[in-house]
């Protein structure tokens, strides 16, 4: 009897927390879409802000869409190129050095928690040191630093689950640790790695504070790495700060655009990784 009550109690508790979380998400999405869809039009997507855009006149946020895509693709690419090999190194080469490994994981978890504005300040300091001005490049470097711990730890958690037996099997066939890393362990965990990359991409495209001082903000579309670039989160921030109601609604429209970009990229990469995976595992 007691067991039954316990079962019912915990089951309803889980159900309630599930419903709570889902409903919060639904409410957020609903309010964004309700305010945003009205303001969303073709012009928003295809035009740069013209003079007076922030007072409610014509124009769009193409500058921020393009800027955000450049920035987050650049940063995700860089972070993947650096982060995935680091995670592989940890799980193939350092697998024996458990103390060092735990220390690295601890450090990464620690810097994962550093707020992105601190990365922004650090990036700014780095820019001053290197003598580069507010630009797409500076933004990409800063965002890369910001998402690297996320990328490495997410990949690491995936690779950790790769069985030791597989590593042993590959090594026994006479492959070096590098061959084992890239041809066996990485492939085995491929879909998990894609998820880790997506997670980092989401953080990269959604963050405002790290790009505030580094990529800056501009109404034009950058044509080189040395020009400043606008981003959607900052665009949302500036539009929300406006006293004009139409402009505030445009902020929600920009949020809708951001959400749709993330959605499309997630679905695309998942589909691709599934297709790739099907032929191997």
Partner 1 sequence: MNENTKIKVEHLDLYIGKQHILKDINIEIPENKLTIILGPSGCGKTTLLKCMNRLTDLYHDVKINGSIFIDNEDVLHTKTDVTEIRKKMGLLSQRPFPLPMNIYNNVAYGLKISGRRNKKALDARVENYLKQVNLWDEVFDRLHEPASKLSIGQQQRLCLARGLAVDPEIILADEPTSALDPISSETIERKFEELKQQYTIVMVTHILRQARRIADYVIFMYMGEVIEQGPAKEFFENPKMERTKAYLQGAFN
Q: Which residues bind partner 1 (CB under 8 A)?
A: 95-98, 163-176, 179, 183-184, 187-188, 190, 278-281
Task: Work out how close the CB of 83 gets to partner 1 at its nearest, in angstroms, rounded to a whole number.
Answer: 21
Helices 190-206, 245-278: crossing angle, 10 deg rounding: 170
Cα 14 to the chain's mean position, in Å? 29
Q: Which of these, 259, 237, 255, lies nearest to 54 by C-alpha position? A: 237
Which one, 165 or 243, has the nearer CB to partner 1?
A: 165
Which one, 175 or 269, has the nearer CB to partner 1?
A: 175
Which one, 51 or 163, has the nearer CB to partner 1?
A: 163
Which one, 3 or 98, has the nearer CB to partner 1?
A: 98
Residue 49: strand pairing partners: 59
Task: Work out how close the CB of 151 gets to partner 1 at its nearest, in angstroms, rounded to a whole number.
Answer: 21
Task: Work out how close the CB of 74 gets to partner 1 at its nearest, in angstroms, rounded to a whole number.
Answer: 30
Q: What is the C-alpha radius of gyration for the chain, rounded to an integer number of angstroms?
A: 22
Which one, 93 or 122, has the nearer CB to partner 1?
A: 93
Neighbours of 248 (CB within 10 A): 16
Task: Work out how close the CB of 185 gets to partner 1 at its nearest, in angstroms, rounded to a whole number.
Answer: 9
CA gap 247, 223 in Å, rounded: 27
Task: Work out how close the CB of 176 gets to partner 1 at its nearest, in angstroms, rounded to a whole number.
Answer: 5
Neighbours of 37 (CB within 10 A): 13
């Amino acid at each position: 009897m007691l067991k039954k009550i316990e079962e019912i109690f915990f089951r309803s508790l889980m159900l309630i927390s599930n419903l709570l979380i889902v409903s919060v998400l639904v409410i957020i999405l609903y309010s964004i879409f309700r305010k945003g869809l009205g303001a969303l039009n073709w012009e928003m997507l295809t035009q740069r802000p013209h003079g007076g855009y922030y007072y409610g006149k014509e124009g769009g946020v193409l500058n921020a869409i393009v800027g955000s895509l450049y920035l987050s693709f650049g940063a995700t690419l860089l972070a993947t190129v650096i982060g995935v090999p680091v995670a592989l190194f940890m799980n193939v080469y350092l697998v024996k050095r458990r103390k060092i490994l735990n220390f690295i994981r601890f450090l990464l978890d620690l810097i994962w928690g550093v707020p992105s504005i601190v990365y922004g300040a650090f990036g700014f300091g780095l820019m001053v040191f290197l003598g580069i001005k507010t630009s797409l490049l500076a933004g990409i470097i800063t965002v890369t630093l910001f998402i690297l711990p996320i990328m490495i730890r997410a990949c690491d958690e995936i690779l950790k689950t790769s069985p030791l037996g597989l590593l042993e099997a590959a090594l026994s066939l006479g492959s070096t640790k590098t061959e084992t890393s890239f041809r066996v362990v990485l492939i085995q965990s491929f879909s998990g790695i894609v998820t880790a990359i997506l997670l980092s991409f989401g953080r990269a495209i959604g963050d405002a504070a790290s790009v505030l001082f580094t990529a800056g903000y501009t109404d034009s579309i950058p044509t080189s790495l040395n020009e400043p670039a606008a981003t959607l989160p900052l665009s949302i921030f500036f539009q929300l700060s406006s006293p004009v109601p139409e402009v505030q609604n445009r902020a929600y429209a920009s949020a809708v655009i951001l959400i749709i970009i993330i959605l499309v990229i997630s679905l695309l990469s998942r589909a691709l990784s599934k297709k790739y995976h099907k032929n191997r595992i």
